[in-house]
């Protein structure tokens, strides 16, 4: 087993913003595999959070637990494109503090 040149990025976003996130990732050089671009997988999830004092929530009210229908998007990203792709996600993601998983991959 050896380290891959690719990382997996996993990001949850309100459903109506999913295509905007996918486009930002692709435009920044992520979600490309061989002769394909816009390569991704996704599934629906229910996000939950409670904005605290000092928060500027995009959705919901401070002090109240919110539930949001989200799409979780997973893409591969070459290590040389990782910083730019993360910056692109943060630029268009509607949440004040998006949770972005960056997962190291290994080749078998």
Instruction: State how far the alpha carbon of 33 is from the alpha carbons of 38, 43, 85, 93, 99, in Å.
Output: 9, 20, 15, 23, 24
Q: What is the pLDDT of residue 33?
A: 87
pTM: 0.91
Enumerate the domain spans of the chain.
2-107
Q: How far apart are CA 50 and CA 4, in angstroms?
A: 37
Encode pLDDT of 4-60 as tens digits.
999 999 999 999 999 999 999 999 999 998 899 999 999 999 999 999 999 998 888
Encode pLDDT of 94-103 as tens digits.
999 999 999 9
What CATH code is assigned to 2-107? Answer: 3.30.70.120
Q: Which residues are 100's β-sheet partners?
A: 11
Q: Which secondary-structure segment (H or E) carries 33?
A: none
Encode pLDDT of 59-75 as tens digits.
889 999 999 999 999 99
């Amino acid at each position: 087993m050896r380290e891959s040149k690719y990382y997996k990025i996993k990001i949850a976003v309100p459903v109506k913003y999913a295509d905007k996130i996918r486009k930002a990732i692709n435009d920044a050089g992520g979600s490309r595999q061989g002769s394909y671009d816009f390569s991704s997988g996704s599934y629906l999830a229910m996000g939950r959070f409670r904005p605290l004092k000092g928060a500027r929530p995009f959705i919901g009210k401070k002090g109240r637990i919110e539930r949001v229908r989200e799409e979780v998007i997973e893409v591969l990203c070459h290590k040389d494109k990782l910083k730019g792709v993360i910056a692109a996600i943060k630029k268009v993601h509607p949440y004040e503090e998006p949770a972005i998983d960056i997962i190291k991959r290994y080749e078998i």
